[in-house]
Amino acid sequence: MVKPEEARALLRDYTYALDAGRLSEWPMFFSEKGLYRITTRQNLEQGYPLSIMLCDNRNMLYDRVEATEKANIYEPHYYRHILSDSQPMESKDGALCARTSFICVRTMLDGSTILFTSGEYLDEVVREQGVVRFRSKTVVLDQSRIDTLIAIPL
Amino acid sequence: MKQATPIWSEEGATHTPYAVYSDPQIYELEQRSIFRGPTWHFLGLEQQIPEAGSFVLAQVGDTPVILVRDEAGEVHGLVNRCAHKGTPLVFVPSGKLARQRLMCIYHNWMYDLRGNLKSVAFEKGVGGKGGMPPEFRKEDHSLTRLRLHRICGLVFGTFHPDTPPFEDYIGAEHVANIRRVCGKPIEVLGTYSQLLHSNWKLYMENVKDPYHASILHAFNGLMKQDRLTMEGGIQMGTGGWHHISYSRMTVDSGDELYKTAPTLRSSELSAYGEGLRDPSFTDVWDDHGDRVSLTVQTVFPCFVLQQLRNCLAMRAVVPKGPRQTELRWIAFGYQDDDERRRELRLKQANMMGPAGLISMEDGMVGALIQRSIEADGDKSSVMILGGRGLEPIPGSRASEGSVRGFWTGYRHLTGL
């Protein structure tokens, strides 16, 4: 069983990797059949299944990384994630489940900074071959309206 | 209406003065002559308002509109503004009204779902004192109603008495494509929107421009989805104001051409090497039995219907002042989708929206342009790919004719 402090360390390393721009590390934070999705609070509340981003295995995560790094064109920018304490939720199939609030600040290279998004992570964390990883990570944005685009995962 | 001073230097639509993207007076003119003018605007889907009292909010330019279903099942489009003081009657994006009435929170003026004023608080005063004057007639204070047209669950509205019937407005081929994409019962999969830091017309030009698709969106090359070398074409609709860009899935002879002619290709091909690691994303099927794998349709001025393989969506483009635009998306599938198709549609939705693998650039490129043209309102773009006219080139999308069509409608309505 995963300990809460191990899940917390995973979350810490995950957001530092994104904020440092080490996107190539992103897929390995997930188990091979890991699920990553970004959705909005309004879609969840209305029972709509749509995601803003949806990957349901590690290969899809790698495809997204490759698209972001090699195909998609966007103005370069930095993220800065700030996390709250995590709240444990009922464990599921051997996974440790927790929710964590976040805000993400986005800074463009011209120096302009905005509060880009806020929301919560709904995480399921498992141990696989001794390594702690996300089996599932759902990013629920408070906002239904996104400023311009989301190129880099949250 | 005051006659606008023309700012185009010549007839036609081969160039656009940059002033139209930032001048606040031109923005006001557009609100009157286009958004309140003889044009049709997408307001929402009947599926979003299934029951009596269900409503969803919409925008026609700057004007807020409620789309609501009444007790008899009829749908109404009403300006969302109490006749008394201008208070919005509804201020959440969607929901269901209590007691089948639109009640103003401020002074309890109350309207039925057809927009008729039914009662006002203290109409007779209190204890025989005060109240409305004797000549006050509730029927003089109804909500402003839009004329509606319903097609396949899509509801369009117009303010202007002279707007042609919807089917004449867009043309038979365009009606046929709406029926093709939305002809069986649809299921809303979700919604979201993007705030774009550009004028609304920069986004509409982008949608109508097949020239950029395989260049700006390198991911398209990987999907082998929207190269100009694919079999496809453009249909212009009535007056050339609207457009449909389409391509077919099985007849892409593009590989050879793209490899031998570097000017035709984008950064796409070499970037990927071996292509996608996960093939399920490209697991597609022929939804409409016609091999047409992509259609992007616009209804002038601000509506987009999209079919990217099995990724289906409507987009409503809402101006937010001269320099900002909200792009509202509704993703949908069909009610008869089985579980697998529904899941694959949700996966293909990775192509669209703010994080869309082939749409994120569209949200950004307008903002880049907006910043670079601000200083030179008297200078112009140039759009002569495929000639100067509107006539589509049979079997070809290497043309900006559809963008010229947009400006033809724009100039006709604004007089600019």
A86 assigned to some structural domain: yes
Do B324 and B205 fall into the same domain? yes
Tell me the residue range of the domain where B368 lies: 187-414
Does A148 fall in a domain?
A: no
Both B245 and B358 in one domain: the answer is yes
Same domain assignment for residues B102 and B226: no
Residue B262: what pLDDT? 38
| Residue in the structure block whose two tokens are 């990384």 | A65
| Tens-digit pLDDT string for chain B (416 aa) | 455 677 898 888 999 999 999 999 999 999 999 999 999 999 999 999 999 999 999 999 999 999 999 999 999 999 999 999 999 999 999 999 988 999 999 999 999 999 999 999 999 999 989 999 999 999 999 999 999 999 999 999 999 999 999 999 999 999 999 999 999 999 999 999 999 999 999 999 999 998 888 788 888 766 555 566 678 889 999 999 999 999 887 544 444 444 433 333 333 433 444 567 887 777 889 999 998 989 999 999 999 999 999 999 999 999 999 999 999 999 999 999 999 999 999 999 999 999 999 999 999 999 999 999 999 999 999 999 999 998 888 878 889 999 999 999 999 999 99
Instruction: Tell me, yes or no, if A20 comes closer than 8 A to chain B by beta carbon.
Output: no
**Is residue B3 one of the residues assigned to a domain?**
no
Whether residue B101 lies inside any domain: the answer is yes
Where residue A40 sits, what CATH number does that domain have? 3.10.450.50
The answer on pLDDT for A148 being more than 80 is yes
In a domain, A56, yes or no: yes
Are B237 and B368 part of one and the same domain?
A: yes
Q: Tell me the shortest Cα–Cα distance from B366 to chain A, in angstroms.
A: 10
Q: Residue B300 and residue B278: Cα distance in Å, rounded?
A: 38
pTM of the model: 0.94
Write down which residue in B78, B111, B145 finishes a domain: B145
* A4 min Cα distance to partner chain B (Å): 31
Eight-state DSSP code of residue B164 = P
Assigned domain for A59 exists: yes
- Spatial contact of B214 and B411, defined as CB atoms under 8 Å apart: no
> Based on the domain organization, do B404 and B265 belong to the same domain?
yes
**B331–chain A Cβ distance below 8 A for any pair:** yes
Q: How many domains does chain A have?
A: 1
Asked if A89 contacts A116 with a C-beta cutoff of 8 angstroms, the reply is no
Q: Is residue B219 part of a domain?
A: yes
Structural domain boundaries enclosing A106? 4-141
Note whether residue A149 is domain-resident.
Answer: no
Which residues of chain B does A75 touch, with a Cβ-Cβ cutoff of 8 Å?
364, 368
Is B357 within 8 Å of chain A by CB?
A: yes
Please give the ipTM for the structure prediction.
0.97
Inside any domain, residue B329: yes
H helix count then E strand count, chain A: 3, 7
| Cα–Cα distance for residue pair B64/B79, rounded to 1 Å | 6
Tell me, what's the pLDDT at A92? Answer: 86
Write down the pLDDT at residue B263.
39
Neighboring chain A residues of B331 at a CB cutoff of 8 Å:
50
Do residue B141 and residue B191 come from a single domain?
A: no
Euclidean distance between CA atoms B317 and B172, whole angstroms: 23
A106 falls within a domain: yes
The number of residues making up chain B comes to: 416
Distances (CA, A) of B150 to B82, B98, B196, B221: 25, 25, 29, 37
| Structural domain includes residue A100 | yes
pLDDT tens per residue, range A19-49: 999 999 999 999 999 999 999 999 999 999 9
Helix (H) or strand (E) segment spanning residue B172: helix B172-182
pLDDT digits (tens, 9 = 90+) for A79-100: 999 999 999 998 888 899 999 9
How many CB atoms are located within 10 Å of the residue A23 CB? 17
Kindly list the residues from chain B whose CB atom is less than 8 angstroms away from the CB atom of residue A151: 355, 360
Would you say residue A104 has pLDDT above 60? yes
pLDDT at B191: 98
Looking at the complex, does the CB of residue A47 fall below 8 Å from at least one CB of chain B? no
CA gap A126, B58 in Å, rounded: 44
φ, ψ for residue A42, nearest 5 deg: -65, -40
Q: What is the pLDDT of residue A10?
A: 98
**Are B261 and B410 in a shared domain?**
yes
CATH no. for residue B68? 2.102.10.10
Which contiguous run of DSSP H or E holds residue B305?
Answer: strand B303-308
**pLDDT tens digits, one per residue of A63-83:** 999 999 988 999 999 999 999
Domain count, chain B: 2
Q: Same domain, yes or no, for B205 and B77?
A: no
Q: Evaluate whether residue B180 is within a structural domain.
A: no
**Residue A142's closest chain B neighbor by CA?**
B192
Q: Is residue B13 part of a domain?
A: no
In a domain, A151, yes or no: no
Residues B369 and B280 in one domain: yes
- The answer to whether residue B169 is domain-embedded is no
Regarding whether B312 and B235 lie in a shared domain, the answer is yes
B265 shares its domain with B410: yes
Q: Are residues B294 and B357 in the same domain?
A: yes
Contacts of B195 in chain A (CB under 8 A): 145-148
DSSP category for residue B212: S
Q: Residue B167 falls within a domain, yes or no? A: no
Domain of B333, CATH number, reads 3.90.380.10
